[in-house]
Structure formats: C-alpha cells, structure tokens
C-alpha cells in the first residue's frame, strides 16, 4: 500500500531556505515516549512542536538515535500521563541534533498523517492553539 504524498515529503528546508513542509507546525509541549525497533524498553521524551505529519521531540536516551531509524512514538495528548501501548504510532527519524550528553532533538515523520491514525490528537493540538491565541 502506498503512502499519501503528504507523508513522503521530507520535513526539511530546501537549499534555498524555503520551507517545504506541507502541514503547519505548532508549538506543542507534552510528555512522550519513544520505542526503538526491536527494543522492549522506552525512552522518555517531550514534544517541542508538532504537525499533522511529524514532530520534533527532545529525547533522553542511552544510545544515539540515527536518521532513518524506525520508532514507535506515544504522546500524552491530553493532560494524563498514562500512555497505552496501542497509542504508539510508527514513525521514521528524519533528522537528529545532539543537545547534550543525554538528550537529542529528534525530528520524526509519521508513517501516516495524524488525522488518519489519531484524529483526536490533531483536535487537541488545535484546541490548545486556539486557547493560547484567545
């Protein structure tokens, strides 16, 4: 099954400096957890910003995460901090920037847009954006 065109566009800027993102990115800080392929443990994280197709996450981890790596990511969309394993969404790492010895900024691209696989997630992001703007 092929992915929608929006899910295959890199979340980076072109060499001209033009932003190539299809979906707007919103500031959105929430606890999250990251599970690496083949690992049973989770690494703690916190979203920095999010869009319908991806997110930037500050991850605390014991091993460096690499671009191209496959992850499952769970975000505490609402105020509760409990994340069920069924809420983890598959994603691909598109960019990693080291922050310090124990943290990385990890840009991910979800396999499918959030509106398809987690419709309540984008509603939460928009609801918070509207509340902040008011």
Tens of pLDDT, residue by residue over 88-125, are 899 999 999 999 988 999 999 999 988 888 877 877 88
Structural domains in the chain, sorted by start: 16-133 (2.40.10.220)
- Residue 24's contacts (CB-CB under 8 Å, 6 or more residues apart) are 51
Residue 27 CA to residue 9 CA, distance in Å, equals 20
In angstroms, the CA 98 to CA 102 distance is 9
Q: What is the pTM of this model?
A: 0.77
What are 7-62's pLDDT values in tens digits?
333 444 444 555 566 788 889 999 999 999 888 899 999 999 999 899 999 999 87
């Amino acid at each position: 099954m092929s992915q929608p065109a929006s899910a295959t566009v890199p979340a980076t800027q072109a060499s001209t400096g033009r932003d190539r993102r299809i979906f707007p990115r919103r500031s959105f800080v929430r606890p999250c957890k990251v599970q690496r392929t083949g690992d049973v443990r989770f690494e703690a994280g916190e979203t920095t910003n999010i869009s319908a197709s991806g997110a930037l996450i500050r991850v605390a981890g014991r091993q460096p995460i690499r671009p191209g790596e496959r992850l499952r990511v769970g975000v505490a969309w609402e105020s509760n901090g409990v994340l069920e394993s069924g809420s983890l969404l598959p994603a691909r790492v598109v960019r990693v920037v080291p922050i310090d010895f124990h943290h990385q900024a990890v840009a991910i691209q979800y396999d499918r847009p959030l509106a398809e696989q987690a419709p309540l997630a984008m509603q939460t992001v928009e609801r918070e954006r509207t509340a902040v703007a008011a």
